[in-house]
Amino acid sequence: MADDYPVVTYRAPWAHAIIYLGRDVDNRTWAAEYRGWHWVHQGKAVDPAAAHLVAGGSLTLGAIIGAARITGVARASASPWAEPGLFQWELADAVYLPRPLYLRGQQNFFRHPATLELPDPESLSAAPLAPPGAGAPAAARRGAAVFSPDVRRHRA
């Protein structure tokens, strides 16, 4: 049931990369025991080292923007998104919400408020994969808090 899925907050633009750019791992200092669907929440904190991922685009901040399945945890993933020395949460089947659902983020896995109605992730569509720098689709940005990075300050 969709209401039972936990929420994980990711720093921007990493949640965006999971939902829209095909990011298939998340690098963490700890291994997750949970397997299955989780809601992908993009926090308000922005990682300036990753600003190049949305150069010229904008991000929805402080909202659930989609869902993905955690399928496992690795220490040496072959994914181009993997960082050596960290745990890589293996992610699959990312789907986006047509309208972001705003709520305050938290650390670790957390439950969303009971008043927040979330659809079944299996009923949602995968986002069309966008090339780096393309930003989120316009439908996902409506009414969103916007972050537009100045890529001249954050070269990767």
Q: Could you tell me how many residues make up the chain?
A: 156
pLDDT: which is higher, 31 or 102: 31
Asked if residue 102 lies in contact with residue 25, where contact means CB atoms within 8 angstroms, the answer is: no
pLDDT at 30: 92
Say if residue 151's pLDDT is above 60: no
**C-alpha to C-alpha distances, 152 to 94, 118, 130, 137, 148, nearest whole angstrom:** 30, 38, 21, 23, 12
d(C-alpha 120, C-alpha 11), whole Å: 24
pTM of the model: 0.73
Q: How far apart are CA 40 and CA 35, in angstroms?
A: 14
Residue 25: per-residue pLDDT: 96
3-class SS letters over 11-26: EECHHHHHHHCCCCEE
pLDDT at 94: 92
CATH topology for the 2-141 domain = 2.30.130
CA 12/CA 2 separation, integer angstroms:
24
User: pLDDT tens, 46-92?
Assistant: 898 887 887 667 788 999 999 999 999 999 999 999 999 999 999 99
| Predicted confidence (pLDDT) per residue in 94-149, tens digit | 998 888 888 877 677 667 655 556 666 666 666 655 533 444 333 333 333 333 33
pLDDT at 143: 35
Bridge partners of 26, per DSSP, are: 89
Q: Where are the domains of the chain?
A: 2-141
The whole-number pLDDT of residue 113 equals 56
d(CA 143, CA 155): 29
